[in-house]
A and B are shown apart, each in its own frame.
Chain A
Amino acid sequence: QVQLVQSGAEVKKPGASVKVSCKASGYTFTTYSMHWVRQAPGQGLEWMGWINPNSGGTNYAQKFQGRVTMTRDTSITTAYMELSRLRSDDTAVYYCARKHRTREEYYFDYWGQGTLVTVSS
C-alpha cells in the first residue's frame, strides 16, 4: 500500500533552517511528483512547491523562492524539503503529498502524516 512517512517534529530558533523528510513506499517513486503543503496552527492549507523525483527538477511558489529547497534521494525513495531563514510565522505542520507526474491529474491522492515545525526563540 502507498505510504508517505515523514520525519518527526522539530523546534528551531528564528534564522535557522529545517529539513523535513518524506519516505515513500508502495509505488514507483519516480512516477509521481512530490509536493509540499503547509498549514499554520488553526489556518488553511498553503501550497509550497514540488519536485520531480525523476529529474530532480523543482518548481516553488514565489512566496518561498530563495528560502526553500526541495531535493530527493531516489536510492532510498525519500524526498526532502528544507526551509531556511526561519521566522515565527513559519510555525506550521508541513505535509508531503504526491501527484502523478505525467497523467493529466491535478490532485494529491496520498499525503504524509505531517511534520510540526515550531519556530521559537
Chain B
Amino acid sequence: QSALTQPASVSGSPGQSITISCTGTGRDVGGYNYVSWYQQHPGKAPKLIIFDVSNRPSGVSNRFSGSKSGNTASLTISGLQAEDEADYYCSSYTSSTTLDYVFGTGTKVTVL
C-alpha cells in the first residue's frame, strides 16, 4: 500500500486561493467518502481541518473546503493568509489488507 500522492509544494499570495490534490485508488480515496485533511505547523501535531471529504470540524475556518472526484480528493484554501503556511496531509480509510489508514505524501504551502 503506497502513500496517497500529493504535490510537494503549492504557493500563493495573500488573498488568493490554492488547491491541493490527493490521489489514491479505488481501495481508498475512490472507494470511500472517508477522506480527511490535516494541517501541521512546524514542530506541532497535526490538526484536523476536514473530515468525510468536505466537512469542517467546529472552529475551523470556512476558508478551508474539501471535495472529491473519482480517486482524487482536493483541499482548497481561499483567501490565503500568512497563518495558513504549513504542511498539509490528506488521509483515507483503506480496504488494504496491510493497514487501515493511509496518509498522503504531504504538501508544503507557502504564502508568498
Bound CA span A56–B71, Å: 34
Among B11-19, B76-84, B95-103, the one that faces the other chain is B95-103
Asked whether B103 lies within 8 Å of A106 as measured between CB atoms, the reply is no
Whether A105 contacts B98 by the Cβ 8 Å rule is: no
- Report B-chain residues with C-beta under 8 Å of the C-beta of A108: 36, 38, 46, 48, 91
Which A residues are in CB contact (< 8 Å) with B34?
Answer: 106-107
CB-based contact A59/B91 at 8 Å:
no
Q: Which of A62, A95, A105 contacts B45 (CB 8 A)?
A: A95
How many B residues touch the partner, as a band? 20 to 34
Q: Do residues A111 and B45 form an inter-chain contact, with CB atoms below 8 A?
A: yes
A61-B98, A62-B98, A63-B98 known; A47 and B47 CB under 8 Å? no
Is A107 within 8 A of B100, CB to CB? Answer: no
Q: A44-B3, A109-B57 are in contact. Are A50 and B100 (CB under 8 A)?
A: yes
Could you mark each residue 33-55 of chain A with 1 if its beta carbon is under 8 Å from any beta carbon of chain B, else 0? Answer: 00101000000111101100000
B3-A106 in contact (CB<8A): no
Segment 79-112 of B: residues with Cβ below 8 Å from A: 89, 91-93, 97-106
Would you call A61 and B45 a contact (CB within 8 A)? Answer: no
Q: Knowing A63-B98, A106-B32, A106-B34, say if A44 contacts B91 (CB, 8 Å).
A: no
- A45-B106 in contact (CB<8A): yes
A contact residues around B106 at 8 Å (CB): 44-45
Q: List the interface of chain A (C-beta within 8 A of B).
A: 35, 37, 44-47, 49-50, 59, 61-63, 95, 97, 105-109, 111-114
* Pairs of residues from A and B, 5 with the lowest C-beta to C-beta distance, nearest first: A106-B34, A62-B98, A107-B36, A61-B99, A107-B51
